[in-house]
């Protein structure tokens, strides 16, 4: 890892590396966040499949924030904070939208195929299945979606 280290006797303490990114709520910019997520995952030792899983989850989180929180207003920014530690990579996706919670129940594939339900609505469930942990937090001025991937993942 390329983090700053402090040595105390035989113990190495790794400093957490933080990378911050702000993107406008405009289609296409989720790909920038996706690229950063994939490269950081690879730098931290995740294999290509795990890196792409994280990148896809980050992309979905950005797209949800763009649409549902910001209405695709390019003047409203999505803030991403990537934190690497010795055994995980966390990504906070922060928007300034109204409160949201995970929909319940989980979408039913057969209803979507038959047209009983809209074909959309899979983003959050996809995210839940691509990373190890997902937390939703309400902030005073928006929402924070925290995605955590345990490392190393091959």
Residue 101 carries which DSSP code? -
Across the chain, what does the average pLDDT equal? 86
Higher-pLDDT residue of 17 and 114 is 17
CATH entry 3.30.565.10 includes domain 5-150: yes
Q: In this predicted model, what pLDDT tens digit does every residue of 64-76 receive, in sequence order?
A: 999 999 999 999 9
User: Where residue 9 falls among pLDDT bands split at 50, 70, 90?
Assistant: low
For residue 80, pLDDT over 60 is answered with yes
Average pLDDT over residues 110-127: 70
| Cβ partners under 8 Å of residue 118, min gap 6 | 112
Give the DSSP H or E segment for 94: strand 88-95
- Domain ranges for the chain: 5-150
Q: What is the pLDDT of residue 16?
A: 77
Please tell me the pTM assigned to this model: 0.83
Decide if 116 contacts 52 (C-beta within 8 A): no
């Amino acid at each position: 890892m390329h983090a700053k280290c402090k040595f105390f006797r035989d113990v190495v303490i790794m400093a957490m590396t933080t990378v911050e990114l702000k993107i406008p709520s405009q289609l296409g910019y989720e790909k920038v966040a996706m690229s950063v997520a994939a490269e950081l995952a690879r730098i931290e030792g995740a294999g290509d499949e795990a890196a792409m899983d994280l990148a896809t989850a980050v992309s979905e989180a950005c797209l949800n924030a763009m649409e549902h929180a910001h209405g695709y207003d390019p003047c409203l920014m999505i803030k991403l904070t990537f934190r690497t530690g010795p055994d995980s990579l966390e990504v906070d996706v922060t928007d300034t939208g109204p409160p949201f919670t995970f929909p319940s129940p989980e979408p039913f594939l057969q209803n979507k195929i038959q047209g009983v339900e809209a074909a959309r609505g899979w983003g959050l469930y996809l995210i839940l299945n691509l990373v190890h942990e997902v937390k939703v937090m309400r902030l005073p001025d928006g929402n924070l979606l925290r995605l955590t991937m345990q490392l190393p993942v091959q």
